[in-house]
């Protein structure tokens, strides 16, 4: 898988307070037209493995998952495309459409990710150190649990 990133300058809460995703002209300065070749590629990275998940981007980092040899990995990049860390988090689906499916979720200084086999992992955003691991297959429907 090849990760290509094009930054538009938006931050993680640009969905607006009402979550309509509708931008007004006064919200941000938009280009009147795109260059014929499209926007400039900011950076790219080869070696993510297989996957279908979207990246999570905050003001400092880009997080994306990829499957390599049946294991899911969470990759952390700075906004210039430098790999900061790569951490394995659990087994991924290998029957059909092999690869990761869940986008990571960033909450303050933590990143959460879930494997296709139900492993939910909470990692420290800056270091990738694992703070907790939970497998959903151990719980019945309706059971409450906490990762903190």
DSSP 8-class letter at 81: S
- Is the separation of the CB atoms in 44 and 5 below 8 Å? yes
- Cα–Cα distance measured from residue 102 to residue 3, given in angstroms and rounded to the nearest whole number: 16
- The least confident of 43-47, 72-76, 94-98, 111-115 is 94-98
Averaged confidence pLDDT in the chain: 81
Q: Across residues 84-94, what is the average pLDDT?
A: 92
- How far are the Cα atoms of 33, 82, 96, 122, 146 from residue 111, in angstroms, in the given order? 36, 18, 27, 6, 15
Which residues are CB-neighbours of 53 under 8 A, at least 6 positions away? Answer: 64, 65, 100, 101, 102, 103, 104
Whether 20 shows a pLDDT value over 90: the answer reads no
């Amino acid at each position: 898988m090849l990760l290509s990133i094009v930054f538009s300058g938006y931050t993680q809460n640009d969905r607006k307070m009402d979550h309509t995703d509708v931008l007004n002209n006064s919200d941000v300065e938009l280009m009147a037209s795109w260059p014929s070749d499209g926007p400039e590629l900011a950076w790219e990275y080869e070696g993510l493995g297989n996957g279908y998940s979207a990246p999570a981007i905050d003001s400092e980092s880009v997080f994306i998952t990829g499957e390599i040899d049946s294991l899911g990995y969470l990759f952390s990049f700075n906004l210039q495309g430098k790999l900061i860390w790569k951490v394995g988090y659990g087994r991924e689906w290998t029957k059909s459409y092999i690869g990761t499916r869940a986008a990571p979720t960033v909450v303050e200084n933590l990143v959460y990710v879930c494997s296709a086999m139900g492993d939910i992992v909470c990692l420290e955003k800056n270091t990738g150190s694992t703070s907790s691991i939970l497998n959903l297959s151990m719980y019945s429907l309706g059971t409450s649990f906490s990762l903190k």
